[in-house]
Amino acid sequence: MNDTRQAGNSQVELNHDLLRAAVKVNTWLLAAVFACVGGLSLFMMTYISLYRGLPDPGQFLNLLGVFLPGYSVSHLGAWIGMFWGALIGAIMAIIFYRIYARSIASQVSEFMASDRPDRDLLGTTLRMDGNYLGLALGTIFALGLLSTTNWLVLRGTAHESRHAALLSEYLPGYSVSVTGSLIGAVEVFACLYLLCLLFSGIYNRTVVLRGR
């Protein structure tokens, strides 16, 4: 399947089968990386809490057990947490890349219009697309806030969730309720979108300054 796009003054015909295959490979590679990072992070955080020697180890980290069945700050809980961390990391990576990959087609068009096509295949440095990065991360975290808040509502423990309610310190209008979760999700999306624009701006400028 081919798709024709404009690049400068000429038409660029994209091979959609190749694009889809490349996106699929990248999605699985990113899922593997995020699964490792997510799993190991929760595993290490659990063990740090466990070995800090405080009177009540993991007093707050234990609350993750509300969302991750079987998890607790214990030796077994660390392994269960690693499983959940890896699973959630992989799912987040898949959603993230499926959204972010929409920027690749336009990047190819820009690339073909630029003076860079003669570069080595493996010598190209990634340029971040702040819009799609913000869209992807904003969507993931907004969905995360919606699902976790409404899980508390469905469990019937919304009125007891005073820790979750503390998010209203940063997200005005947020509360542990359906309406509050919607307001919070919109605010999280907006904040992350702006932060991603800043992030990609710093990254892309640094890449240019370094002559990559």
Whether residue 41 contacts residue 47, with contact meaning beta carbons closer than 8 Å, is answered with no
Copy the structure tokens of residue 200.
């990609």
H or E stretch covering 206: helix 178-209
Q: Could you give the C-alpha distances from 32 to 103, 141, 196, in angstroms and in order?
A: 21, 20, 23
From 74-82, 84-92, 114-122, 151-159, span contacting other proteins (CB under 8 A): 114-122
From 72-80, 104-112, 150-158, 181-189, span contacting other proteins (CB under 8 A): 104-112
22 binds other proteins (CB under 8 A): yes
Judged by CB, which is closer to other proteins: 57, or 65? 57
60 binds other proteins (CB under 8 A): yes
171: left (phi over 0), alpha (psi -120 to 50) or beta: beta
CB-neighbour burial class of residue 93 (10 A; exposed 0-12, middle 13-18, buried 19+): buried
154 binds other proteins (CB under 8 A): no
Backbone angles phi, psi at 10, to 5 degrees: -120, 165
Q: Which of 99, 121, 174, 189 binds other proteins (CB under 8 A)?
A: 121
Whether residue 199 contacts residue 128, with contact meaning beta carbons closer than 8 Å, is answered with yes
From 77-85, 149-157, 162-170, 176-184, span contacting other proteins (CB under 8 A): 162-170
195 binds other proteins (CB under 8 A): yes
Residues near other proteins (CB under 8 A) are 7, 10-15, 18-19, 22-23, 25-26, 29-30, 32-33, 36-37, 45, 48-49, 52, 54, 60, 104, 107-108, 111-112, 117, 119, 121-122, 124-127, 163, 166, 169-170, 195, 198-200, 202-204, 206-207, 210, 212
